[in-house]
């Protein structure tokens, strides 16, 4: 009886070891794939953040193929941004248009606090430049500037230093309206 339990116990232990080893292999493969994907994203980001020196502005904007969208705020490095209007490219070779959105805050007045009108905060807006780049030819083919207005009904806390309103809706509407090629 004792040997049966020992044998059963040994089989359970071997099964657990085998299961753990399989999970470890799957985990290793996932980690390796994630590292490879991360390396690929870093390389693509380096390619996509470069603003081409070649400029050939088209009379009308359009979107060619799938897109990669990047955004920058106040001169920071461009980072990937997901714009739900466009489908994500499963294969990076499908990316034909790079959309760079560079936004910087600008002051367009002041807000006065309701409880103490002598205190003011800068009324900030955003000036954004949207650049469309043809990836195949590394050419800027369209540039459009957007500028928001300060929010007239901004809620300002006593600890806030600046209030920003970005033209995200206008940019999204512009990009949605572009014809696809």
- Tens digits of per-residue pLDDT, 125-178? 889 999 999 999 999 999 999 998 876 655 555 555 555 667 888 998 999 999
- Cβ pair 110, 104 in contact under 8 A: no
pTM for the structure as a whole: 0.69
Cα-to-chain-centroid distance, residue 63: 18
Cβ burial 94-116 (10 Å sphere, 16+ → b, else e) = ebbbbbbbbbebeebeebeeeee
41-64 confidence digits (pLDDT tens) = 667 777 788 888 999 999 999 999
């Amino acid at each position: 009886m004792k040997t049966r339990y020992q044998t059963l116990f040994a089989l359970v232990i071997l099964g657990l070891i085998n299961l753990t080893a399989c999970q470890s292999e799957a985990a290793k493969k996932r980690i390796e794939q994630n590292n490879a994907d991360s390396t690929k994203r870093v390389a693509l980001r380096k390619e996509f953040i470069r603003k081409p020196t070649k400029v050939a502005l088209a009379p009308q904007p359009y979107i060619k193929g799938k897109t990669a969208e990047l955004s920058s705020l106040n001169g920071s490095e461009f980072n990937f941004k997901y714009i739900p209007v466009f489908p994500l490219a499963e294969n990076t070779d499908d990316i034909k248009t790079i959309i760079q959105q560079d936004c910087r805050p600008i002051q367009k007045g002041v807000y006065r606090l309701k409880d103490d009108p002598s205190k003011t905060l800068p009324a900030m807006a955003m000036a954004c430049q949207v650049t469309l780049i043809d990836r195949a030819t590394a050419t800027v083919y369209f540039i459009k500037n957007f500028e928001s207005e300060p929010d007239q009904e901004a809620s300002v806390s006593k600890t806030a230093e600046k209030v920003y309103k970005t033209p995200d809706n206008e940019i999204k509407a512009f990009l949605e309206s572009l014809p696809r090629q």
